[in-house]
Amino acid sequence: MKSLIVANWKCNPETPKGAKLLFNTVKRGIKNIKNVEVVICPPFVYLPFFQKKIKKIEKIKLGAQDVFWKEKGAFTGEISPLMLKDLGVKYVIIGHSERRQILKETDEMINKKLRAVLFTKLRPILCVGETEMEKRKEQGLRVLNSQISRALEGVPEKEADKIILAYEPVWAIGTGAACEPNSVLEKKLLLQRIFRKRYSPNISKKLKILYGGSVTPENALSYIKEAKTNGLLIGGSSLKAKEFLEIVKMVSI
């Protein structure tokens, strides 16, 4: 099965030169790799550099790290789904925990973004995950249920099969403390169950689920093989071309 490997560059690299170098190294490195789709999510300002380049390579797609829910208008600082689509973007990360925590994004905002992205025929990657505190209080499952249910409000069956979920426990992001594969598998089954309650069985069968949080070449394969996820959402390791390519090669089996 084809894995989806998503590189979330976050607010990196600091210069266009660094961004182009990273992109070109990854592009060259995946030339002969099969069975994998790589999505690069750079900061918005770097998207135009890569727009033409990805047209020639089927295995790489462009993603955005965020989006606004309106098409246009007086919304200072925001970027609309249509603007992203025009730049060749195919995937959009929504509800990343850094945006929920640092930028105070609410479930209501995430719901609006999800619906706008689906309406524009882009593919949303909806991030969900519990914090360290919620995990300690054994509230993880309840948190996932609430985040997903609120994000999905008003999303009809015919659009739901385009959604990709990323399970990213907040305590595992950037900490080196990756989640155990068996725990990821447990969450995957829960996410499928939530979808099954809302939509027809067909939708939950087609649902793609990624894992993110301190993914490295050492643990990457375990999330595909043991946790049976459909791919990975990678932060830190996606900024090191050698590590990222190692992961891509590893999962392309």
Q: Using CB under 6 A as the criterion, which residues of the chain lie in contact with ligand 13P when the complex forms?
A: 8, 96, 168, 173-174, 212-215, 233-237
Q: In a 10 Å sphere around its CB, with 0-12 CB exposed, 13-18 middle and 19+ buried, how is residue 183 labelled? A: middle
Residue from 105, 134, 168, 243 carrying the catalytic annotation: 168
Nearest residue to 34 (alpha-carbon basis) of 248, 234, 210, 237: 248
Nearer to ligand 13P, 81 or 95 (CB): 95
- Residue 168 annotated as catalytic: yes
Residue 166: CB atoms within 10 Å: 28
Minimum CB separation from ligand 13P for residue 85, in Å?
Answer: 22
Beta carbons of 123 and 164 less than 8 angstroms apart: yes
Minimum CB separation from ligand 13P for residue 207, in Å?
Answer: 19
What does the alpha-carbon distance between residue 97 and residue 8 come to, in Å, rounded to a whole number?
13
Nearer to ligand 13P, 163 or 203 (CB): 163
- Residue 71 annotated as catalytic: no
DSSP-assigned letter for residue 166: E
Backbone dihedral angles phi then psi of residue 234, each to the nearest 5 degrees: -115, 130
Residue from 37, 96, 130, 243 carrying the catalytic annotation: 96
Minimum CB separation from ligand 13P for residue 184, in Å?
Answer: 13
Nearer to ligand 13P, 212 or 231 (CB): 212
What does the alpha-carbon distance between residue 4 and residue 18 come to, in Å, rounded to a whole number?
24
Minimum CB separation from ligand 13P for residue 154, in Å?
Answer: 25
Nearer to ligand 13P, 81 or 213 (CB): 213
List residues with catalytic annotation: 96, 168
